[in-house]
Amino acid sequence: MIKIKDSDLEFKFVKSRGPGGQNVNKVSTAVQLKFKIDTSNLLEKDVILFKTNYPNKISKSGYIIIYAQNHRTQNLNKKEAINKLHKLFSDINIPVKRILTKPSKSSVEKRLQTKKRKSLLKKTRRKVINEA
């Protein structure tokens, strides 16, 4: 799990976009989260993985910008934006080395027995040839 400091996050509260009720045009409840990935406390390998997996998520100035406007309050939108950022980092595909395994003796024996049964079943379906 990647730890992100609260001091690395910049929040800006803006008016929500799109249609809505009376408060949409008056109250700034939408959240714009900015996270400078290059100056953060993240490990270099995590930054490189993020940049290779999400090159379009980083602006030219080096910020990851996330909008959240689904809720009516600033606090819920702020939490949603932080969750979106954490989800981006948790979705990074970290390669895991596969441990080679062998099938157990019982599973090999079971497979062979099943093959023998199928073979016998198919032999009974063949045409009978009269050699007289």
**Structural domains of the chain, count:** 1
62 is a domain residue: yes
Closest CA to 8 of 50, 52, 39, 54: 39
- In which domain, by residue range, is 40 found? 6-90
Q: What is the pLDDT of residue 20?
A: 65
What is the mean pLDDT of the segment spanning 18-26?
Answer: 68
Six-digit token string for 129: 């040839």
56 is a domain residue: yes
CATH number at residue 84: 3.30.160.20
User: pLDDT per residue over 23-38, tens digit each?
Assistant: 666 778 888 989 888 8
What are the residues whose beta carbons fall under 8 Å from the beta carbon of 36, sequence distance 6 or more? 8, 10, 62, 63
User: pLDDT per residue over 92-101, tens digit each?
Assistant: 766 678 899 9
58: β partners: 64
Q: What is the pLDDT of residue 107?
A: 97
106 is a domain residue: no
Q: What is the pLDDT of residue 59?
A: 87
What sign does the dihedral 13-14-20-26 (CA atoms) show? positive
